[in-house]
Amino acid sequence: MVNNTRLVALDAICSVVLDKRSLSSFNYPDPDDALAKSLVFGTIRFYHQLNDIVTDLLNHSLEKEDLDIHCLMLLGAYQILYSKVAIHASIYETVDTLNFLDKTWAKGLVNAILRQIDRDKEKLLAQTHYSHPTWMVKKIKQNYPNDFEQIFEQNNTQAPMTIRVHPSYPIDDYQQNLANENIQSEALKAAPQALVLNKPVSVYDLPDFDIGSCYVQDGSAQLAAHLLAPEKSDRILDACSAPGGKTTHLCELAPNAVITALDNSSERLERVKQNAQRFNINTINIIEGNAQQQDWWDGQSFDKILLDAPCSATGVIRRHPDIKLLRKPKDIKNLAILQAQILNNLWQTLKSGGVLLYATCSVLKAENEEQIAQFLDTHQDAEEIKIDLDWGIEVSVGRQQLPSHNFDGFYYAKLQKKSVE
User: Going edge to edge, which strands form the sheet with 214-216?
Assistant: 185-187, 194-197, 162-165, 214-216
Quick one: CA torsion of 285, 419, 410, 161, rounded to 10 degrees?
-40
Catalytic hit among 214, 240, 251, 361: 361
H-helix or E-strand containing 10? helix 3-17
74 in Cβ contact with 43 (< 8 Å): yes
Q: Is 150 left (phi over 0), alpha (psi -120 to 50) or beta?
A: alpha
DSSP state, residue 417: E
Residue of 350, 362, 333, 226 whose CA lies nearest to 297: 350
| Annotation says 361 is catalytic | yes
Contacts 24+ apart (CB under 8 A), 173-179: 174/207, 174/213, 174/214, 177/207, 178/206, 178/207
- Residue 421 CB partners (closer than 8 Å, separation 6+): none
Residues 47, 113: Cα–Cα separation, whole Å: 16
Cis peptide before 243 (omega within 30 of 0): yes
Residues 368, 359: Cα–Cα separation, whole Å: 8
- Residue 69 CB partners (closer than 8 Å, separation 6+): 62, 98, 101, 103, 106, 109, 110
- Residue 285 CB partners (closer than 8 Å, separation 6+): 258, 259, 260, 261
236 in Cβ contact with 230 (< 8 Å): yes
276 in Cβ contact with 267 (< 8 Å): no
Q: Is the dihedral of CA 332, 338, 342, 345 positive or negative?
A: positive
Residues annotated as catalytic (active site), given as ranges: 361
